[in-house]
Structure 1
Amino acid sequence: MYAILDIETTGGQFNEEGITEIAIYKFDGHEVTDRFISLVNPEKPIQPFVVKLTGISNAMLRSAPKFHEVAKRIIEITDGCILVAHNAQFDYRVLRTEFKNLGYNFEKQTLCTVELSQKLLPEQPSHSLGKLVRSLGIPMSDRHRATGDAMATVQLFKLLLEKDTEKEIVKSLIKTENRQGLAPRLLDLLESIPAVTGLYYIYKQNGDLIYIGMSRNIKKRVNQHFTGTSRKSKKIQKQAFTVTYEETGSELIAMLKECHEIKKNRPLLNRTLKKNTYPLSLYPVKDTNGYIALKLEKTDGRKKEIISFTGTAEAKSAQYKITESYTLCQKINDMDPSSKKSCFPYTLGNCNGACLQKEPVEAYNNRVQNFINANSFYKQSMVLVDRGRNVNERSAVLIENGVFLGYAFFSLNHQVTHLDILKSIMVPIASNKDSKKIISDYIRKNKALKILRF
């Protein structure tokens, strides 16, 4: 059973908010079986911006029941249920605080529909309740009132349950209270961080930067630091005083900026990014018959490589996979040491005979070029178009003649199709082998990535 709820509060300082309205729908996975909806007298004034947002005024609450008068009903309707809410961490914290003030320890398992929708509906540009239900065609009334938001969450949760056919994702996201010892200052820091893709920066009280990270959900990642038991997590929990963040929308931009920022700032608790060495690289070399060979050679800074590798095993494994995946020739790629004219895969039907000049050069080289285009940006000029920070924005990563130049955010198509405009709004980042590897790996893993070539 689930207890799907929404709470409106007075606003104000962390853990000092009072509940002004609560709506709880008991849901068995198919239909609502019970409900409780009530205004609540918080016995403190409502912040003006909250009055404007919700329409709930101080005058409306004078005759409403106080929390201790509705507490028993809340316990009854949530008994044996998992609490479900959109941003469940907030609603659960406020509810627990109210019960704590009454001397009662209110503990429940929780499930957040923000996290659940991010897992099951990753294509959605926004996971805020209003925008998400609107894009899914879920009717919504009384926005920013507990009953309207809770009922919209019921309909959203029902849809998410149907999409998670094996219920594996739902089970994995159910949380049991495990933060009782978490310091209030850490909870306060966590409250200010959104569940978005981007970077986060953790500082000591004296202003020293101690850690930089990136995540597709920075709130969840910082929470892992604050609740983790590793040596690094415990140091972060002890020293963290301020957390700032930068939303990127694009995971690729977040990874590129993380690499750049760590090398630039060298935070105390980040494992120092040593200057990675790439002793071997894959180069395209035309043989005497005109076939393009993909050869592993010592990295030469004067030449443009397709892919670089940190070790021999990684390099050879990748070369074999590439050769097999694109039906290329081991003999041409200098991988077959035998003295025979044909390569061994040819005898098994896994080579089209380029080693014997039986396959047309053009057909063979087209497959090599397909590999290069799909897996790297060797000597290419292109823009990688990805998610932006909101529904009206996209991101762009610019590569010119195989060199990564930087990134930009744009909202109009002509900003990305005209290179002079794109360069004028671009944030430059120095290109290096680490950034090239990050981009190459991202291109390989994200086959649906929009690429504009020029």
Structure 2
Amino acid sequence: MKRITKNIGLEQGPLANASGPDEHDLNQSNLYAIVDIETTGGQPHQDKITEIAIFIHDGEKVVDKYHTLINPERPIPFFITQLTGIKDDMVQDAPKFYEVAKDIVEFTEGKVFVAHNVRFDYSFIKKEFADLGFTFQRKTLCTVRLSRSLMPGLPSYSLGKLCQSIDIPLSQRHRAIGDAEATAILFDRLIKINRPVVDGNMNMAAEHTTQVLKQEIKTSLLPPAITKEKVDALPMVPGVYYFHNEQGEVIYVGKSINIKKRIIQHFNIDYKSRKSLNFKNSIADITYELMGNELVALLYESAEIKRLKPQYNRQQRRSVFNTGIFSYTDSDGYKRLTFGSIDKAENISMTPIIALSNHYKAKGFLFHKVAKFYLCQKLCDLYKTNGACFDYQVHQCSGACIGKESPEEYNKRVDEAIDSFTYEHNSFVVIGKGREPGERSVVVVEHGTYLGFGFIDDTFSACSLEDFKGAIQRYNDNKDVQQIIRNHMRGKHKEKVLIFE
């Protein structure tokens, strides 16, 4: 490997005398690239790197180092300058990322990528390379997780407070060179804390350390307080899951047809923002409730989000379906359909007939109904004009838009369309798969109102809707659950539906 070291301002500090590796050292598998970066902000998809420092550790000591400022090709926000001390004039003549990209590739190649909160640094570097059309992929190891594992019970595992707790010098906080050097010292201490001499055998001690690091590399994507054993024990069945913080509070509720797979996906996705990193690092426990099938899981998730109002379900706490289809009669007697934000519906004194997730879907939904029931695009707010709508010009509209078709004739088809918005049946029960063999789930709707769901066993006998009503737990009806049930009933499903008219 070509050695391409840039030592800028590294004359001071306990690692100042680190020497470069020889060719034999670089071919060893136990090399670690300890990385820290500074950026213009906290979001990899829009912010850029302003500084990078890399310390190479061979499992015994630091053997090489790399550091450079990087021109982000954009102004550095004032609050970032206040935090890091990096100003626009400091990076004006620094290399751009593409000019040091080859250095970073070669310097980290064949090594484990180590950082404190590794997903932050790793996600930024991956995104910078992705913008250049290059896939950057390394094994990762998080010193937050490693510190929690080997030094439990400390008051904080942020780099600054951790260094203060265990007397690691940190003279250039929030500069890549200072933070990377401190992380390198921390890493060195951690692997030596966990390196007891086994029966006087140093080789066995080294092997023990290697196994610990291999385990941490495998779990580096997990939140710091979540163990591999906790994730391994998760079920691969439908249900609702909860993320808790260290105080036991529920901070997120989710659902999946495969709880374990979905939670692993949560942890594997690249870091998108500082908020998403804080969310992941806040997860201290995982619990779940088995639901048996997707419909019941969706209904229970919706109810739990509204009940618990978790911190990181902010959007779903309000409503997943925030755009409505509305109906009103105009001054000429025509029933008109329109779409808009449900939150603003009170301004036009209307209640939505149906709720959808966004304006795009609402508009598509209306276009479908216009075509199916031969309605007028203009009278459905899909074609803005003072004259005839486009469909009239191509003989697909009977002319309600220009008064050619009477309100009575046109409104009949609007009523048919509105009827198709609601449940196909007035009262019905959906019977689905239960949480275990011999059990079934039941979802009850009466007179168009969702009553709730429950579970019955195979010995349950019912002759009427009242029998099923006695087997469920009651939940509130709202536009979200109505839409969940409508979407489910209109899609492909295997559940049995009993109709009570």
TM-score by length of 2: 0.44
What TM-score comes out, normalization by structure 1 length?
0.48
- Which of 1 and 2 has greater Rg? 2
